[in-house]
Structures are given as C-alpha cells and as structure tokens.
Structure 1
Amino acid sequence: MRKRTAATAVVLVAAGLTQVQAPADARPGGRVEIHVDRGPLIMADGVPAPTIEPEIFGANARWIDDELGAWDPATHGPAAGFADAAAAAKLALIRYPGGTVANFFDFKKAIGPVAQRGCQTSGGFAAVRFGNLPGSRNGFGPDEEEALAGQIGAKTMVMVPSINQTATDAADYVEYMNSPSDGAATNPNGGTDWAEVRAANGHPAPYGIKTWEYGNEPFLDGQRYWRDEDPQVRVKQFIEGGWSRQTAASSTYQNDDGLFSGCDLVNRKTGTGAADQTYRTRYNPIALPADATPESGPIAEPVLTVNGVRWTRVDSLATAGATDQVYRIGQADGTVSFGDGTHGAIPAKNAKLSIEYTTGRQDGFLDFVKAMKAVDPKITVCSGWGKPEFVDAMGNRPYDCIGIHSYTDQPGGDADGAYDPAELYQQLMNASDTPTAELAELREHIAANFPDPRRRPTLAVTEYGTISQNGPTGVSTPNNFAAMQMHNVYETTMLIGQLTNGVRLAINSNLNGGPAADPAKRDWGNILGSPPGFGVTGRSMSLTLAAPMIGAAPRNVTMTGNPTAPDQHYTAVVAAATRTKEGVQLLVVNRSLDQAMPITVDPAGGPAVRSARQTTVTDDDITAYNNDQAQPVQPATTTLRKGPKVEAELPPHSANLIELMY
C-alpha cells in the first residue's frame, strides 16, 4: 500500500468517494508576470497561429441507442434537456457516428424507416468487439444526426469507417449527404442516386457536410483489424490500401480464421449439418491467386478446413459430386458456401470450420479521398492516423488535414482499492503537457514535408481526454474520475495547447454518457451529463471559458516567475491569449494543487483598460464533480482593479478567463 502524504489525504474507494481536502504541495509563493504581446503567436512550424473557430467546442457522439439517449425517437428531436445543455456547452460540432464504436458502421443500414434498418457490427466498446448490434439499436442514423445538429445549431463531422468499407461506399455516403436532389440531372458516383434516396427518406435538401475523417485510431493494435501487425507495413496499408493474410496466428484477433454470419463477427460458426450452408469471412473482399499483381506479390490459395481436413475451392458447386469436399467463395462479400449433399458434401453438425485467406485489395486513404472528392470537391478529408509516422509515410503527397487523438493514460490506485487523490492529481498534471508537445511535433513533421505553408495540411483534434488504465495491482481510477475538478484542469490545459498549436477543430471525448437506472453508475465525465436531464458538467464550464476568444488569433504570451512544484514536472501556470477590438482575453490555468497563484497581466500597450474581470471555474475539492444531485463546480466572476497592468489571483487547481476591456 502506498504511503499517504498527510493525515488529511483523501481516500477514494471505487464504491464511493469520501471528499476532503487534499494535502499541501508546498509550492513557493511568488507573483507570475504574464505579458500578452501585440504580435501574433508563432507556432512550431514558424507560421502565425490561425483564427480560433467555434468548432473548438466539439464532441464525439456515439450513434448506438439513439446516441445514448440524446435523441428522442418519439418526438423526432433532441431528448428533454439536451438542447439547453448543448447550448450552455456552446456545442458547435459533433463527430458522428463516433470513434471505435463506429469502425464498422454502414450508413446504408442506418437510413430509411427505422423498422426496416439492418443490423450493424460493433467496432469495440458498444459490445464485444465485432459483436452484433440489432436494428433496434440502429435508430440514430445520418438523418437523425442532422436533425439533432440542426435543432441545436451545430455542424457535423463524419467519420468514415475504413474497415469492410470501400472508397465507393464512402463516395456514396458523401453523395447521400451533400448532393442535390434533382432527378436524373446529377449522380456523381454512378449507380444508385443517393441524393434521390435521401429525398425519398424525407430530406430533399443536401446537408452540406464539409469535414470528413477517414478511419479511427488505426495505429492501435486493437483497431488494426485486417491490417498488418507490423506498424510500418500497417501505415502504408492505411495510406495506399493493400492485402493482408488472415490466420489463426494473429496475436490481436484470434478468430480471424473463423467463419461467421450476418453482423456478428465475434462468434465463429460451426457446421449445422444442413444443406447449402453459407457463411462469411470476417473481412472482405477475398483475394485469390489469380488476383495477384506486382504490387500484391503472390497471393496464396485460401486454406479451408472442416474438422481439420482441408477442403477444395471450386468455381461452381453445380458439377461437384455428392461426397466431394468442396466449397465456393464469393470474393466481393466474403461468402463461403458449401454443397447440398447432391452437389458437394455437407459439413457435419458442430464441425469446426476454419479458413486462412488473404483479404484485399482493400482501399486506402488515397483511394477514399479521391473518390469522396470526385463527388464533392469542396469537402475536407482528414486522416484518422494522427501520428508522425503517417506524416512521414505520406511525405509531400498532398492531403487536407490530419486528425489527432490527444490522450494520456491515467493509471489507477493501490492494492487496497483506495486512492490518494493528491498523487492521482500529480500524475495527471505531469501528463498534461504531453498532448501539447505532440501537436508541436506534428507541426514540425508536416512543415518538413511541406516547406510552403500554404500547402500544409491543417491540424484537427478529433478526440481528446484521458484513457483510464488499471494500476499495477489491477485497480482502476475512481468512478467518474473524468468528471472531477482535477480532470477539468487537465482538459483546459489541453485546450490551451490546442489553441497555441493552431488546431481548427477539437472533438472532446465524449458528448454524453448513457442513461443508467442507478444514479451511482451514471457517467458524468463528458461534455454533458447522462440523460435524463443532461446537466452541464464542470468540464464544459471550464472549456467554454474560451468562448470570448473565438474569432481572434492567439497572441504571443510570455511569463516570468512561473514556479514548478517540488518533485513535479510541470509549471503552475499555462495560458493562451487573444486580442480583439474589445480588449484582451487570457485563458489561464493554475495547476498548483493547493496554492493560489498571484499574477500580473501586462496587456503590452494599446488603449487604456477601462475595466477588468476574472471568471473562475473550480471547487475546493479536486474530486468534486457535477451530477443530478449536486453541482459544486460552477463559474464565479469577480471585478479586478484596472490599471496599466492588472493583478489577479488564480485559485488552486482552477481554470480562469481574465478579460481586460478597452
């Protein structure tokens, strides 16, 4: 068991939190001088930071179960309380249909009458990976998302899945969302006129989705799916497409050699003993030896076994004998078909079925972008591989945008299931500068490949937050850790790093938690609380302090006297600033655990400061969070004494906005 740093240390038990004051961190008391320059902030790649857009207030929405209760199918509108909470959170952008949960999302199964919609395959967190999601959970499709966004005045960013979807599928999606309904006049992707399908579904006007993203976290082993285990091979496959052998030897997906049915790609099938058995492989299409190209190299024949005995692939079952151990493959959809006992043998009941095969050619990022922009050249398509290896592998090939997922891992507590919040806080703050450094590194990598700043892809943070990990003894972080005031400080630090690195849109993880009958199990660690009610969380209150900065470009900020806590790796104060015709806006965080931080803000000339005010979001307790029973984390505004320089005091573990009005 870890030692407590003081008798007043907080003990948090997973079943319930006891909230008391955290111990002192003995931070030295001095005044921090903050100088807001009149000149622009120059970023890591040597160019000025761009104007801050409303889309910095974005959130990741997960499509399942009516967006976890945000959508009311009875009224065909936002659930009660959602619109008001979204307005308070200044929600300007929704990432749909989400992240991991949407890795297999098929928009064609999520449109039209809800009762007629098909099943979907879960990409991860919604069920067991690859699990079946029935049509009853598929009521929040693209049309419902646009109705929700339209009624709260938000825009949508669409994440296009890169698994079991083709570039043509993605182009169809763009056509459904953006093309005009004009009869036979336009059908940019050929085939089905998806704009007319949209009109038949009751939405004749195009939605005009401007920002799209290809793929979600393909750099993670848990989301590589068909791609190679070698990261260097994998990033090339992500960019250019390709082929990959699927076998039982996969260290990540042990059932890659299974046969499945429908949307359920987790529970492999065994023989039924019936005639005309048909299954599907986990991934499609299937590549055969005759499909080999110089790019693919030789493609091995599939190896299908029934109870360990290898059967033979044939082009047609019609000429097979009654006992011939043969099967037929449907390459495009990955189907595997067996005989009826007259033409081809029948796999016995409970027979183990296994197939080793090559999937491909799969389309890659370049294929998707080309096909999507052929439908609508005005859209922006971001890469979902937001890492330096993608930037380096792309080289100077042009692309619009790179979508970064800014997360740090937060380990849990000790062997007793107890937590020392002071230690938890210090771990979190020690990690809070890492995402900012990663953004700056990406800027430098991009600049190395694009010397002309006008050609450089933009940065988008398409998810950010923390990923809670079990500690060394298996203990996780406390319930609703991501809702606590300590986490609000961390998130606002991340936002400051995004503003100072020219991020044009930022998607918080996540929009809202799902409903739960037990209040103790409801999730408040999001932009909005869980339904019913969707209370405004302390996180949202902290982040939206930046609202007055929208429409202006960051100015350079320099500080002196900014202390570092003993034995820690972070400075107490971080800040970003803008100047408008109204005055100076300074978003500033005090990361000190328990010491107030006196500051002096120097606006560096300009008109005389007529008035000054400070808005602070914090609570004395670093473990406090807002829920449906109490809302301890609230903003408070105070008037500051005006002068050529303005003095203020930042409470411990707080997010603040200092406004100097001309």
Structure 2
Amino acid sequence: MRYRRPQWRNALILLSAASCALALTPAPSFADDVPVVLQVKTNQRIGSASPFLAGANNDQFWNNSHGLWDPAANAPDPAVVDKTRRANIGMVRFPGGTPAALYDWKSAIGPANQRACQTPGQPNGGPGPVDGSFGPDEYMKFVEATGARPDIMTPMINETPSDAADWVEYMNAPLGTNPRGGTAWAQIRAENGHPAPYGVRSWEIGNEPDRSAQTYWRSTDPTTNLREYAFGGTEPQVGQNLQRGCDRRPAASKSDGRANQQLKVYYPPVVPDSQTIYVGGTAWTAVADLGSAGPSDRVYEFDPKTGTVHFGDGIHGAVPAKQAVVTADYTPERKPGFVDFYAEMKKADPSIDVCATWAPINKESGLGVASFAQVMRQSGLADNYDCLVVHPYTNFRNVFGDGDWKTAQEGHDEYFLGEKQATDLVANLISDVRTNGSGRQYVATSEYGALWFGAMNDISAYPHWDTAMSHALYMASQWTAFSQLNLPWAMGNTLIGDTPTTLRSVLGGLPDLVYTADAVMREQFKPLVDGGGTTVATTVRNNPQVTPEATEDARFGTYGALATTAAVGDDGVLRVAVVNRDAGRAVTAEVVPAGYAHGDLAAVSTVAGQEFTSYNSVGDPDAVQIQRGRMSLGSTAFRYTFPAHSTTIIELHPAR
C-alpha cells in the first residue's frame, strides 16, 4: 500500500483555531490509485430521519439510579439533565435490562419510604435485594426534564399480562378513565403527583429471553424456549433454590435456624401437589396444618398460589437445621407468553407499540432455528406484534475467541470487525421480519455496544478502550448503519454509572460526569438526527479496506474505512455524516450530492482527538471535542479529506 500526504484542496473560509490546527496537520492517507467516491443519493429516500437513534439504556433503578435521582429535591440531578440534553440522548430505556428482569413496578410507586424491596434479575440473585427508589414516576420526571422519549421493558417472568396492562394504564390512561375496569390506575397516578397521562408509546416484553442466563422458568432448548416465550407454557423445575423475601442469592436458600421460616419458590403459582421440598437433600412432607405436627416432624405447609413454604417452630414441626440448604422440585402452572401480554396491553391502550425481544445473536442463543417472526406467521399471528427488539452487542471474547489485546490497534480492529457483524445481524433480522411479518412491523434495538462482558485477561495495551475514540467511533458507525437501515429508535451503552470510568457509561458517574467521546459524538450528530426530514441513501465506491493487525483476526476479513449516512432536513439542508474508522490514515473522497443543488459554503464539524486512543477524563475533560468551521467546497461534487479516526458532518445548504 502506498501512502501520501493529503492534498488539502478544500479552500478554508472560516475555521476555529482548533479546527484549523486539526485540518492542516498532515497524516498518512490511503493512496490515490483507486479514487474513493461517496455518492449521496438524495432522490433515493429511505425513510423519516429519526431523532431517537442515539438513545441510551438506563441500567440501574436502585440507589437512585447511580445518584441520577436526588430524593431530597424530589428531582433528577440537574447536571445529569443538562448533559443528557447536551449529548442529545433522545430516548432512555427503563427500568433496564437483565437487572430489571424481575422488576415489580407496583412496588416502585407511591412514597419512596413505603416501597418494598426488589429482586435483581441477574443469575444467582445478583447483588441481593435492592430498593425501588427510582421508580416509574421518577423516571418520567427525568424523561420530561431532558425531553427524551421513554421506553419501558416490561418483565414477564414474575409479572402477568394483567400486571403489564395495569402499568400501561398507570402511564397512559387519561384521568377519569378506566379502560379495563378494576383498579383506576389513572387516579392512582394522579394521587402520586401526575394527573396528566405520560404517553409512553414503546413497550418491550422481556429482556434477552433467548440468552441462556435469562431463560428463567423456560426450557434451555432454543426451539422450545422460543415457543414458550411466544405462546407460554411450563417446565418442571428441579433442584431449585428457594428465595427469602427479595433475596435469590444462594445463601438465602440456607436455613437460618429460626422458628417459622418462610421461603418461596421462584415461579409461582405451582401445580398443586407437584412440589417436593428438600432440606439438606432430604425430602420433607407437606401437611395441611403445622398445628397438628410434633416437634421432630419433618413437615411444612405449602401455598401453591404464592409458592410459599412455611416450616415449623420446633413445637409444631421441626426447624430446619441452620445452614441446611432448602431446594424444591415443582411444576409451575402455565405461564403466559408474549401473545398474552400483547393482547392484554393493547386493551389498555391500542395506540402503543408492544415489542417482542426474541432476537438471537448467535447459534447458542437460537440462530439457525425458526425465528420469532416465522413462528408467529406459522401460527397465523403474523400481525400480533408491533416490533422486534434486538441487542446486537459485539462480545470480544465470544466473537474473536481471545481474552486479551496485545496492542491497542488489535482492540481497535476488533471493534470494527465486530461492528460489521452487528450491522449484518440487524439487517438480516429486518429482512426476516419483512418476509414473515404482516408488513407493518419494524426492528429496533434497546441495547448495543462493544464489550468484554467481564471475560477479559490482559488488556493493559488499551486500558481506556471503553471510553476512548475507538468505542465512540463504533457507536457512530452503528448510528450511520441504523440510519441507513431505517431503524426508528436505538438505545446503546448505559447513560450513567457509579464512577467516572464506569464501563460504557455515556456520562461517566457523579459527581464528575465526564462527558465522554461517545457523548461528544452524540452532540455532533444532533443536527443530523434532529433536523427532521428524510434519510437518503449513501454508497461508498472503492471504500478503502482495513486489514486487521493481528494475524488471528485475519480470518474475519477486512472492514471498510468509511461508514456513512445522510439526511435532507425539514430546513432543506443536506447533512452528510462520515465516520473514518481507520486508526492512522486519512481518506480523501469525492463527495457527490446527486440530485441536490447546493451553495458554495458548507458548515463542517469534526471529532477526532489526537489519537484513536484519546479519551476524556476528569483530569482532561476536553481531550476529545467537536471542531467546527465553514468551508468553500464548490457548488457541485467536491473532494474532501476525512481525518483518521474521526467523524465528520458536512452541512450543505440549498443553492439560492
């Protein structure tokens, strides 16, 4: 590959000092042997430009959502609100993903000091019982303060379709109405301080039901699991620990040696007389009334409706020995599936979108078997869902089979080899839904990003990978892809964390709230996604291909240096977004705004940082920032050199 210095043929009319310094610093560039052409096809409309493509997942509802909520002020932290608005985070999900899979919304409304504990949804009980301090009303106050659009993940493991429909009514029913009879949830919302409906339109049913760690009561076989997610069913539970209150950690299933202990099975109600309760591996006997038992009788009472196991007090029934593990075999009664939730929630508010979440990302989680859309069509229910939500994460270890990076460049390359796979996954899902749906369904994503999922060895070669330019460029590449695929909304990374460098948090953590490179790029994309109008097609001819540095990554092929999208806003301005993912080389391309007559002057914004490893920190909060200027580019096609590891947005105004 030959290299050359970029020829800066763009006449600089008005640039900030910072922008000028960036633009005039020569960098190695791809050779001119094969000209790169970016064609913007303004007559090929993809769909309405969406302001919701750079949303964020809110991953924690307890502890006031990482401090986002200020209970003393009964309001969200103003700094979080300000930076959320600045970063243009147009959509925020609640109550989160896996940690919220067992969320009980009815225990999270009303006076905070009267709310019951919550059970986290992670395997083995996660951190143990947590509070419900950041509930639906607190979430909506934050959403209203930031101007974001809400999206609610409705758990289906511990909740019923009626519970979910009640939640829809609580959020959306006008005061004085009661769509389904029963409890007047709109009145309760008003009593909790919000008479007007919240108007939540996006609702997801479950979180990652295809993943092995989140099958819960369902089968681990993907084909059976899918049908149980879609249509409901039941599975015998064998050797399952019991929970104590909200605690599902393994230690909670051990006897504390006290009289009158009460524990619960995970998934009530239970088929009567299907249960066998074991204490220390020995089966005890169910009785109708402990009052008739003797002090050494190994017996218990059982309520199949609630799944509660009640042991004796040492006078009427024996007390399980301290530290003895209590387990259960039982069969839950039929559990509802997606179709049951969909039908009941639509009764509460027909205008909402109810999204399924069965969208496997690999063979282990269900790729290769029938899809959700196929199963629904085969069952004559092709129209009984509004959308399908996928979480197309790039999991470095799972995708690349390695637990470390020898160089930062290796990590950078794996970001974009993985991004290509993630985009293909979403595109294939869209095709599947179009083929098997009724024609009105869409695909969206409520979680995406690139990470190790904790399974990493030595990545000291790139210690700040999760907040550096590489990660931000990955996110920007996904935005361009989602735009070209016409996704109506997407939420990636998490909004806020516990510390300034919390994994994947857009705003770091309080009190510093580092405005990460990811946040900077979201701000840069604001004119593109908020301008209304229409997304138009873009293609890159002779897109330079980047060959990964690590030989073990070569089997995944190459990735294109440029990722692009464009939109013509309601104001008539054509905005072209270009992400150059190459870590060290600029790319000069001829930009052809086909079908669009534009003036000579253009506004240009660039985010690059000094290196692809650059990141914002508490000590250096502005290492990565937006550089803005105006340039003369001519009134037809023009050449532009896109710096290495950068995003650029060019705004072309219609010719006068």
Tell me which residue corresponds to 1:207: 198
Alignment of 1:287-326 (within 5 A): 287-288=271-272, 301-317=274-290, 324-326=297-299
Alignment of 1:179-328 (within 5 A): 179-182=173-176, 186-248=177-239, 257-266=240-249, 267-288=251-272, 301-317=274-290, 324-328=297-301
1:243 counterpart SS class: coil
1:588 aligns to 2:570 (yes or no): no
What's the CA shift for 1:625? Answer: 0.8
What's the CA shift for 1:610? Answer: 3.7
Q: Report the more deviating stretch, 526-535 or 68-77.
A: 526-535
2:121 counterpart SS class: coil
What's the CA shift for 1:218? Answer: 1.3
Q: 1:640 to 1:632 in 2, by over 3 A?
A: farther
The answer to whether the 8 Å contact 2:66/2:497 transfers is yes
Q: Give TM-score scaled by structure 2 length.
A: 0.85
Q: Report the more deviating stretch, 388-397 or 55-64.
A: 388-397
Tell me which residue corresponds to 1:653: 645
**Residue type matched to 1:560 in 2?**
R
What's the CA shift for 1:122? Answer: 1.3
1:50 aligns to 2:47 (yes or no): yes
The answer to whether the 8 Å contact 1:245/1:358 transfers is yes
- In 2, Cα distance between the equivalents of 1:216 and 1:603? 41
Say which of 393, 396, 412 aligns to 1:407.
Answer: 393
What's the CA shift for 1:506? Answer: 0.9
The answer to whether the 8 Å contact 2:605/2:650 transfers is yes
Say which of 326, 333, 340 aligns to 1:367.
Answer: 340
- In 1, Cα distance between the equivalents of 2:633 and 2:42? 22
Q: 1:475 to 1:36 in 2, by over 3 A?
A: closer
Tell me which residue corresponds to 1:576: 565
Percentage of pairs with the same residue: 33
- In 1, Cα distance between the equivalents of 2:237 and 2:407? 45
1:166 aligns to 2:160 (yes or no): yes
**Residue type matched to 2:612 in 1?**
I
What's the CA shift for 1:365? Answer: 0.9
Tell me which residue corresponds to 1:628: 618
- In 1, Cα distance between the equivalents of 2:421 and 2:558? 11
Say which of 421, 428, 434 aligns to 2:408.
Answer: 421
Q: 1:541 to 1:26 in 2, by over 3 A?
A: closer
The answer to whether the 8 Å contact 2:411/2:462 transfers is no
**Residue type matched to 1:120 in 2?**
Q
What's the CA shift for 1:415? Answer: 11
What's the CA shift for 1:507? Answer: 0.6
The answer to whether the 8 Å contact 2:403/2:455 transfers is no
Tell me which residue corresponds to 1:21: none
1:144 aligns to 2:117 (yes or no): no
Q: 1:287 to 1:40 in 2, by over 3 A?
A: farther
The answer to whether the 8 Å contact 2:462/2:613 transfers is no
The answer to whether the 8 Å contact 2:155/2:206 transfers is yes
What's the CA shift for 1:70? Answer: 1.5
Tell me which residue corresponds to 2:326: 353
The answer to whether the 8 Å contact 1:313/1:326 transfers is yes
**Residue type matched to 2:510 in 1?**
P
- In 2, Cα distance between the equivalents of 1:543 and 1:381? 27
**Residue type matched to 2:262 in 1?**
T
Q: Give TM-score scaled by structure 1 length.
A: 0.84
1:435 counterpart SS class: helix
- In 1, Cα distance between the equivalents of 2:591 and 2:28? 25
The answer to whether the 8 Å contact 2:391/2:447 transfers is yes
Q: Report the more deviating stretch, 340-349 or 590-599.
A: 340-349
The answer to whether the 8 Å contact 2:29/2:588 transfers is no
CA deviations on 1:485-538 (whole Å, 9 max, x unpaired) are 0111111111111111111011121111224xxx6xx32733223212424321
The answer to whether the 8 Å contact 2:88/2:522 transfers is no
What's the CA shift for 1:592? Answer: 1.5
The answer to whether the 8 Å contact 1:415/1:475 transfers is no
What's the CA shift for 1:313? Answer: 2.8
What's the CA shift for 1:54? Answer: 1.5
2:446 counterpart SS class: strand
Q: Report the more deviating stretch, 280-289 or 497-506.
A: 280-289
2:448 counterpart SS class: strand
1:398 aligns to 2:398 (yes or no): no
Q: 1:121 to 1:477 in 2, by over 3 A?
A: farther
1:619 aligns to 2:577 (yes or no): no
1:380 aligns to 2:366 (yes or no): no
CA deviations on 1:453-500 (whole Å, 9 max, x unpaired) are 3x3x11111111112156785658854422100111111111111111
Q: 1:166 to 1:344 in 2, by over 3 A?
A: same
What's the CA shift for 1:346? Answer: 4.0
The answer to whether the 8 Å contact 2:47/2:536 transfers is no
The answer to whether the 8 Å contact 1:469/1:477 transfers is no
2:234 counterpart SS class: strand
- In 2, Cα distance between the equivalents of 1:532 and 1:80? 11
The answer to whether the 8 Å contact 2:270/2:333 transfers is yes
**Residue type matched to 1:590 in 2?**
N
CA deviations on 1:34-60 (whole Å, 9 max, x unpaired) are 11113225xxxxxxx321222223111
Q: 1:224 to 1:114 in 2, by over 3 A?
A: same
CA deviations on 1:284-338 (whole Å, 9 max, x unpaired) are 222236xxxxxxxxxxx22222333322334444555665543232222211123
Alignment of 1:420-459 (within 5 A): 420-450=407-437, 453=439, 455=440, 457-459=441-443
Say which of 635, 641, 644 aligns to 1:643.
Answer: 635
Q: 1:123 to 1:352 in 2, by over 3 A?
A: closer
What's the CA shift for 1:189? Answer: 4.0
CA deviations on 1:169-190 (whole Å, 9 max, x unpaired) are 11121122112332xxx33344
What's the CA shift for 1:166? Answer: 1.2
Q: 1:337 to 1:435 in 2, by over 3 A?
A: same
Q: 1:398 to 1:640 in 2, by over 3 A?
A: farther
- In 2, Cα distance between the equivalents of 1:91 and 1:506? 10
Q: Which residues of structure 1 form unaligned runs of 5+? A: 1-23, 42-48, 249-256, 290-300
1:332 counterpart SS class: coil
- In 2, Cα distance between the equivalents of 1:272 and 1:656? 61
2:494 counterpart SS class: coil
* Count of residues in Structure 1 that have an aligned counterpart in Structure 2: 598
Q: Report the more deviating stretch, 587-596 or 550-559.
A: 550-559
1:555 aligns to 2:553 (yes or no): no
CA deviations on 1:89-109 (whole Å, 9 max, x unpaired) are 112211011111211111111
What's the CA shift for 1:245? Answer: 1.6
Q: Report the more deviating stretch, 540-549 or 63-72.
A: 540-549
CA deviations on 1:528-555 (whole Å, 9 max, x unpaired) are 2321242432112223433333322222
Say which of 83, 86, 111 aligns to 1:85.
Answer: 83
The answer to whether the 8 Å contact 2:313/2:319 transfers is yes
Q: 1:79 to 1:472 in 2, by over 3 A?
A: closer
